[in-house]
Amino acid sequence: MPAPVLYRSTHRVKVGQSFRFVIDYSPFESPEHYASKPPQSLWVRIRNTEPIPMRAAYLAGPYVLYVDCRPEEYNVHEKSFVTADQPVFDSQLLPGKAFYAELSCHTYRPKYRWTVDVVSQILFNNSIATNFDVCIATDKDMSHYSVPAPHLAVSVYDTLDLWNLPVPDTTKPLHLVILTHGLHSNVSADMMFLKEQIDSSQENVVVKGFFGNVCKTEKGIKYLGSRVAEYVVGLVRNETFSSVDKISFVGHSLGGLVQTFAIAYLQSNYPWFFEKIRPVNFVTLASPMLGVIHENPTYVKLALSAGVVGRTGQELGLQLTEVGKKPLLLLLASGITHKVLKRFMRRTVYANVVNDGIVPLRTSALLYLDYHGLSSLVGPGEKVAEDAKIPVDLPNNEDSQTSPLSSMLSFFMPQKQRDRYSRYQTNSSSTESGNSIERTLEEIPKPSMIESATSLILPPLPSTKYITDPDSRENVILHDKVYNEDDLPNLKEDGTKQQDQKKKGVIQMISDKRDEFRQLIEGNVSEHYEEEIAREYHKSMSWRKVLVKLKPDAHNNIVVRRRFANAYGWPVIEHLVENHFGLDEDTEPQTDETTMDEESSETDGTELTKILSRDVLERENEQLDMEPDDSTWIDSKVNGGGFVGPAGLLSEVSDMMYRFKEQVSNYGTSYSEEPVAVKESPTRLMGEFF
């Protein structure tokens, strides 16, 4: 006989939204009561109530949910031997499908507690939503009627609740941490795990992120960065955060560049900001600091230049700006940005060595590395040496797979190796030849089209043993070293440098768009730009470079986009938190400390200052906001006509599928017709959410 429902509620989530259900159950008054009565487990069911035909609208939505359930006793750093105490999850809860989890009461406790997270997997559209319901009963076979349950209490937290908890102690100095998301991503859901790990550090921190850039990441780094900066200023001016005296920035993927522009914008338009608030940590996770054009084939360069990924793609493709005929990323590495970066106590880049089909190693690690260094891969339970080097023989990853989003991007952005790494070898005592360096880099595997297509259907997931047994997890840190400007090789005084100078002179004289286009496609100019950007970032500054070897999908695993589905990135987040938060700063060396009046590079940054003008950016942002969402990927000055890009196409398909879903729902059976008391989730306006 079906068991009566003890709790039921219905909810809906849009892009970047999530719900957390904390279930408290106190059925026993005493241990004697527990011994005299056989324990009875509870069952929780999360059902995606979207019509089954919506499964076909994968790219238009997708109308998919991520769900996990874990007991209060579970700890990622401790072994979990009992199956009943182990977490369970479903990374692809499709429309019409249900997720079941047993809430075991196999041992006596005064109160049992479980946490259930439900996260939206929508990527491209902020107008559609996925509906679901939550039911709790004493059996997996649940009936349609409910009964009161005085011993059961369910606390519901939405996205805003989760990001406003825990409440910091505002009577003490606060450390503000700003998280920034990447392309076609969001900070509210995709960086939640990182937020909670930073919150758990022994420091009075408040972790925030700007939600307003979701579904707008194609509008350009200037647009995104200026909005993040204005959000930060609004936070510190709020009376609640008036005690903030330190600030850190952590960005994933494109977020690394966005936060770089944000700090330059803050210094240019709010000079008091970094005088009042001390910059502490500047951290990037798999960020394309040098762009993404050099190791991509010609058709990808053409697509980026044409605006397939909007203004953002053009900037990542090192397209020249209207000011000074230089790429934005080159301007961004100099002038005001350089001066502000030098003031941070710690600057760290995390880079994927393998299994990242989105951001190559050379751009996420700022190009210059000790490629001569040799070490064997570190096994489970072993510690990596402080001076560990990049291994020569990296394993062939024949089962490499990536997540759906990464697969799609890596399909359009496959990587090719170039035989030019020897010039980026840092100064070392090794005498290994340049040919050996090339062999080392050529052995780094890259995702193939077949692997990318396979992962669309079968995304890789960590094993139960990995999640429940910390000893089974490999040490993923391959290389952890601080690089200074002195480690960079000197520019050759022979023909190489003269050739570079000749390139630079030609670039300054470019006036015809076809010449600019041709030189970028050939690759020589983009390589020169990469080297120039990397050297700007290293001038008078030290960078800690942490290279990691993660299983696919490494680009999302490195930030742990979903708690268990991307659990391979747990060691990276643990390393990040332990080395940047909750530290005794009196014992931390403050390297590269400088004043804002000190000259930091050979360029005065005048061109960057013009771009950073608040008035100019406000006008540009207003124009971008006025453009319809389905065409903002187009640079209207260059590509005013015709080609409909991915974002515009997917937005139109999303709207079409949404209308189709409404028609199907009208002819189907509504769950609200069931004769039970339904608890509706509190209404939260999207305007408030953003």
- Enter the tokens of residue 513: 């768009």
Instruction: Bin 488: left if φ > 0, else alpha if -120 < ψ < 50, else beta.
Output: beta
What's the CA gap between 57 and 63, in Å, rounded?
7
The helix/strand/coil state of 587 is helix
What's the CA gap between 309 and 124, in Å, rounded?
13
Q: At what angle do helices 449-457 and 404-412 cross, to 10 degrees?
A: 160
Instruction: Bin 481: left if φ > 0, else alpha if -120 < ψ < 50, else beta.
Output: beta
pLDDT for the residue numbered 460: 82
pLDDT tens string 180-195? 999 989 999 999 999 9
- Averaged pLDDT, 318-339: 84
- Enter the tokens of residue 344: 């941070």
**Of 304, 295, 568, which is closest to residue 419 (Cα–Cα)?**
295
Judge contact between 283 and 198, C-beta under 8 A.
no
What's the CA gap between 520 and 317, in Å, rounded?
9
pLDDT for the residue numbered 502: 46
Catalytic residue among 120, 248, 253, 410: 253
With b for 16 or more beta-carbon neighbours within 10 A and e for fewer, the 250-264 pattern comes to bbbbbbbbbbbbbbb
Question: Phi, psi (5° rounding) for residue 246?
Answer: -135, 155
The helix/strand/coil state of 238 is coil
DSSP designation for 673? G
Q: At what angle do helices 221-237 and 254-269 cross, to 10 degrees?
A: 60
If you average pLDDT over every residue of the chain, what do you get?
77
- Residue 180's DSSP bridge partners are 251
**Of 64, 62, 69, 63, which is closest to residue 85 (Cα–Cα)?**
69
pLDDT for the residue numbered 581: 95
What's the CA gap between 345 and 481, in Å, rounded?
16
> Quick check: 597 pLDDT over 50?
no
DSSP string spanning 337-401? HHHHHHH-SEEEEEEESSS-SSS-HHHHTTS-B-TT---PPP-TTPPPPTT----SSPPP-TT--
Judge contact between 67 and 92, C-beta under 8 A.
no
State how far the alpha carbon of 11 is from the alpha carbons of 132, 208, 323, 416, 674, in Å.
Answer: 6, 25, 49, 45, 16
- Averaged pLDDT, 52-80: 90
Radius of gyration, CA atoms only, the chain: 26
Question: Phi, psi (5° rounding) for residue 64?
Answer: -125, 150
Asked if residue 288 has a cis previous peptide bond (ω within 30° of 0), the answer is: no
pLDDT for the residue numbered 306: 63
pLDDT tens string 202-226? 889 999 999 999 999 999 999 999 9
- CB count within 10 Å of CB 30 equals 10
The answer to whether 600 is a known catalytic residue is no
What's the CA gap between 556 and 363, in Å, rounded?
17
The helix/strand/coil state of 609 is helix
- Averaged pLDDT, 19-23: 98
DSSP designation for 621? H
pLDDT tens string 151-206? 999 999 999 999 999 999 989 999 999 999 999 899 999 999 999 999 999 889 99
Range with lowest mean pLDDT among 119-128, 223-232, 431-440, 612-621: 431-440
- Enter the tokens of residue 167: 């409440």
- CA atoms in the 13 A half-sphere facing the CB of 256: 26
pLDDT tens string 334-345? 889 999 999 999
The burial class, CB within 10 Å (0-12 / 13-18 / 19+), for 215 is buried
What's the CA gap between 79 and 441, in Å, rounded?
37
